[in-house]
């Protein structure tokens, strides 16, 4: 594994590194999102509202469960690789495998006792794919720690390409009753290829998904360090995914259709997150390394990233609000155009989500993840309460309420991040 330099790098060099890595990730994620839009345009037309609603429901539910297997360890892995701490980095990888084993056994037991009408095979395929995706993301986080985003870029593109080609074309080749199985299988195949590419790239840089076994002390330390990230990550994932799950499970009738309409708008809104995610992924190792070298965080660098991301978020939100109906009709089909109001409500989340990518990254770099956990918990509670209110008292407008509560929750999370960073900066200045 590469070691981090002892001497602090100039801020200008950090900026160049961030731009280069953000460009690699941005281009890869742009290609992935274009492919995703193509595959979802195909799936919505072939599967219809109910079939697509089940696919999005399974993805949302299994991603929440899958994150429990990841335990927030990709962030830990990046942090220790960036700081040159080989022992703790290896322990993070082993902790991830341990988490996957435990959660995998739990999910397998749950699927075994599921009722007869429960789509066990489909949910099983999705869960295995999410586990593969989580392992690939762990490996990619190590590459980020070495500030080399090329392997992650190739892996992301390969995974989405397989999903788009096998799924997008395959659903039209087989009989319609088998199309849903093809969509789930295509997603799994894509994640398998992405994991293979990631593992091979890691090997060329001295990293491995099967490193030497760590000591029990290192493994215990990794698990202790990871729990705030795990809890915050699960809560953050639930903030993003709980809407679809609640709409499908709690609506007295029409849950599949509502989940399909809302899910189509959500996937379209989410497709623009790659810009903010790329900047945050490139920013994180630089912030971690700076803190390891002199104990400070380059807030001037953070301010610039936050300013530009918020501006892009405002532009993206306005674009989605104005063109919601034609975008849904074009990409998902005319049958999904009634979901335009839900997408317009979700458009208000975009500026805050973009800003939160930068602010949340800085909170983790400052090692204030426990404080961040409290903010995520409050945000999730508000989102769940708002969704429940809409489903119970205004079921006909439950999707609109879900979108509005997502925006409010993201805004609350922004306030939480700003307070945490302000308190951290004050503490640094007074010591």
pLDDT in tens, 360-402: 888 887 778 778 888 888 888 888 888 889 888 888 888 899 9
Residue 195 lies in a domain: yes
Q: What does the pLDDT read at residue 19? A: 67
Residue 243 has pLDDT above 90, yes or no: no
Distance, C-alpha 428 to centroid of its chain: 30
Residue 58 lies in a domain: yes
Residue 301 lies in a domain: yes
Residue 322 lies in a domain: yes
Q: In Å, how far are 200, 207, 252 from 233, measured between CA atoms?
A: 27, 24, 30
Q: What does the pLDDT read at residue 39? A: 83
Q: What does the pLDDT read at residue 344? A: 94
Q: How many CB atoms lie within 10 A of CB 86?
A: 18
Burial status of residue 393 (CB atoms within 10 A of its CB: 0-12, 13-18, 19 or more): exposed
Residue 366 lies in a domain: yes
Task: Map residue 16 onto helix, strand or coil.
Answer: helix
* Cα–Cα distance measured from residue 159 to residue 119, given in angstroms and rounded to the nearest whole number: 24
Residue 309 has pLDDT above 70, yes or no: yes
Q: What does the pLDDT read at residue 312? A: 92
Cβ atoms of 348 and 381 closer than 8 Å: no
Residue 80 lies in a domain: yes
Q: What does the pLDDT read at residue 7? A: 43
Per residue in 244-277, pLDDT tens? 778 877 887 777 788 888 888 887 888 778 778 7
Cβ atoms of 346 and 408 closer than 8 Å: no
Residue 2 lies in a domain: no
* Cα–Cα distance measured from residue 406 to residue 172, given in angstroms and rounded to the nearest whole number: 34
Residue 349: band (very low, low, confident or very high) from pLDDT cuts 50, 70, 90: very high
Average pLDDT over residues 149-172: 87
Residue 316: band (very low, low, confident or very high) from pLDDT cuts 50, 70, 90: very high
- Domain of 298? 11-426
Residue 121 has pLDDT above 90, yes or no: no
* Token representation of residue 103: 């959660």
Q: What does the pLDDT read at residue 276? A: 83
Q: What does the pLDDT read at residue 241? A: 66
Q: What does the pLDDT read at residue 293? A: 54
Distance, C-alpha 58 to centroid of its chain: 15
Q: What does the pLDDT read at residue 408? A: 93
Q: What does the pLDDT read at residue 5? A: 43
Q: In Å, how far are 90, 141, 252, 342 from 337, measured between CA atoms?
A: 48, 38, 22, 10
Residue 431 lies in a domain: no
Count of domains in the chain? Answer: 1
The least confident of 96-105, 305-314, 328-337 is: 328-337
Distance, C-alpha 37 to centroid of its chain: 17
């Amino acid at each position: 594994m590469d070691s981090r330099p002892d001497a602090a790098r100039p801020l200008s060099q950090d900026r160049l590194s961030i731009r280069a890595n953000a460009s690699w990730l941005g281009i890869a994620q742009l290609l992935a999102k274009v492919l995703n839009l193509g595959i979802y345009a195909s799936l919505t037309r072939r599967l219809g509202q109910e079939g697509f609603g089940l696919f999005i429901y399974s993805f949302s539910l299994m991603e929440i469960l899958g994150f429990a297997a990841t335990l927030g360890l990709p962030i830990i892995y990046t942090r220790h690789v960036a700081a040159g701490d080989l022992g703790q980095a290896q322990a993070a990888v082993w902790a991830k495998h341990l988490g996957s084993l435990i959660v995998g056994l739990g999910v397998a037991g749950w699927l075994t006792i599921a009722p007869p009408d429960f789509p066990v095979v489909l949910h099983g395929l999705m869960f295995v794919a999410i586990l593969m995706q989580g392992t690939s993301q762990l490996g990619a986080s190590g590459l980020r720690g070495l500030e080399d985003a090329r392997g992650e870029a190739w892996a992301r593109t390969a995974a989405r390409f397989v999903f788009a080609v096998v799924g997008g074309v395959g659903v039209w080749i087989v009989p319609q009753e088998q199309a849903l199985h093809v969509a789930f299988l295509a997603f799994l195949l894509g994640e398998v290829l992405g994991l293979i590419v990631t593992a091979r790239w890691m090997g060329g840089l001295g990293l491995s998904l099967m490193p030497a076994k760590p000591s029990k002390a290192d493994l215990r330390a990794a698990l202790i360090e990871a729990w705030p990230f795990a809890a915050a990550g699960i809560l953050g994932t639930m903030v993003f995914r709980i809407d679809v799950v609640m709409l499908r499970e709690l609506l007295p009738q029409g849950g599949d259709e509502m989940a399909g309409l809302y899910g189509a708008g959500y996937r379209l809104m989410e497709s623009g997150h790659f810009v903010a995610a790329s900047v945050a992924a490139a920013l994180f190792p630089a912030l971690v390394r700076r803190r390891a070298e002199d104990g400070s965080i380059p807030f001037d660098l953070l301010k610039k990233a936050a300013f530009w991301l918020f501006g892009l978020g405002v532009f993206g939100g306005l674009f989605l609000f104005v063109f919601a109906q034609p975008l849904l009709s074009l990409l998902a089909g005319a049958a999904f155009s009634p979901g335009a109001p839900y997408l317009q409500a979700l458009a208000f989340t975009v500026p805050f989500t973009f800003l939160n990518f930068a602010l949340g990254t800085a909170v983790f770099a400052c090692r204030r993840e426990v404080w961040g956990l409290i903010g995520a918990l409050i945000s999730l509670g508000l989102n769940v309460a708002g969704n429940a209110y809409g489903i119970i008292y205004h079921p006909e407008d439950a999707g609109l309420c879900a979108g509005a509560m997502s925006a409010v929750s993201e805004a609350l999370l922004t306030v939480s991040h700003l307070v945490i960073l302000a308190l951290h900066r004050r503490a640094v200045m007074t010591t």
